[in-house]
Amino acid sequence: MGNEQEDKEMEMGSIVVEKVGGRSSVVHCFSRYPVKFIIPKKVGSSRTDVVWVYALNYGGGIVSGDQILCKFSVGDCCTMVLTTQGSTKVYKSVGSKCSKQLLEARVGSNALLAIIPDPVTCFSTARYYQKQVFNVSSNSNLVIVDWITSGRHESGEKWDFDLYRSINNIFLEDGEPLFLDTMSLEKEKIGCIHELVQDYQVIAMILLLGPKLQFVQNLVQDKVKGIMSEQLQHPSGALSHKRNEAGYFISKPSLMASCSVFGTKKTSLVVRVAAMTTESVYKFLQEELAPLESLLGVPPYH
């Protein structure tokens, strides 16, 4: 009972999408400060059956101590996109308070949910915890892009936050875990984050799950394998050169990517990217997710 009451107090937004007149439609939409949802009437071709939702934060970001819970339900055979209009800023921590953002989503049979936000940008000393939990059926479809930049470069901040933790969990209808993933960067435990990631300014995870996305998974998997193969065969064109302490040139890829399959039938894909610039990750996402235009009405990140 206590947890239910706590969830109710934290809940800042909820959306339910169901079929109405044969089309994906928002049948319930609730939001309160500091969250606001914008739902355009039309995005892309009218032939595409999809609902786009833009999530905004009043004040342009997440304030120290904010605790935000949003819930989404995508009914059978429906399609919904959740995105943002810019990076999610996490402001400086006050008194070691941690900002929390929780997302819970149910994705129905043959439904598609795409979570494709701009990156999270944590200010100096910020403490941020994000958890996303998805409940899916055996033929649900899910796209997740979860990424973070090193901070406000124009202010001289690079990996200068105190805590960033992002959790993505996917469960089947019977409660069986399908994918459990945590990324944690905590200054208190690992020391200087900048020394750990060195010249890389962006870390990203892209997840593709479900039969509708099989064609995209195959294309992305081939592209990632090609990137790594090219860097091994022709390193000079893909690498950033820098002198080490002894004066010798050492080389690092400007964008690194790896991929792996998961799931009972190995039909789902997770891609991990580390890059030296935000622009290069936007370009990667634009190119690799462009085939989703047929499902989402417009290509993501264009």
Per cent of the chain over pLDDT 90 is 74
User: Model confidence over 1-37: pLDDT tens digits?
Assistant: 456 655 666 799 999 999 999 999 999 999 999 999 9
Mean pLDDT throughout 38-55? 92
Residue with tokens 């999408």: 17
Ordered alpha helix ranges (H), 234-264: 235-238
Find out whether 224 and 253 touch, Cβ atoms under 8 Å.
Answer: no
Residue 42 has pLDDT above 90, yes or no: no
User: Model confidence over 172-211: pLDDT tens digits?
Assistant: 999 999 999 999 999 888 777 878 888 899 999 999 999 9
Looking at residue 24, its amino acid is S
Residue 218 has a pLDDT of: 94
Round to whole Å and give the CA distance between 14 and 28.
8
Supply 140's token pair.
């649900």
Backbone angles phi, psi at 185, to 5 degrees: -125, 105
Domain segments of the chain as ranges = 1-231+253-296
Residue 141 has pLDDT above 50, yes or no: yes
Supply 190's token pair.
């690992």
| CB within 8 Å of 51: residues ≥ 6 apart | 17, 24, 25, 26, 39, 78, 79, 80, 81
Of 118 and 59, the structure prediction assigns the larger pLDDT to: 118
Round to whole Å and give the CA distance between 210 and 223.
19
What is the DSSP secondary structure assignment for residue 66, as one 8-state letter? -
Residue 278 has pLDDT above 60, yes or no: yes
Angle at CA 255, nearest 5°, toward 178 and 241?
A: 150
pTM for the model: 0.91
When the pLDDT of each residue in the chain is averaged and rounded to a whole number, the result is 90
Radius of gyration of the chain (CA): 20
Residue 178 has a pLDDT of: 96
pLDDT bin (cut points 50, 70, 90) of residue 248 is very low
Of 231 and 197, the structure prediction assigns the larger pLDDT to: 197
| CB within 8 Å of 95: residues ≥ 6 apart | 64
| CB within 8 Å of 205: residues ≥ 6 apart | 144, 145, 146, 147, 168, 181, 183, 270, 271, 272, 273
Mean pLDDT throughout 139-167? 94
Residue 110 has pLDDT above 50, yes or no: yes
pLDDT bin (cut points 50, 70, 90) of residue 234 is low
With CA atoms as reference, report the closest residue to 80 among 168, 173, 142, 14: 142
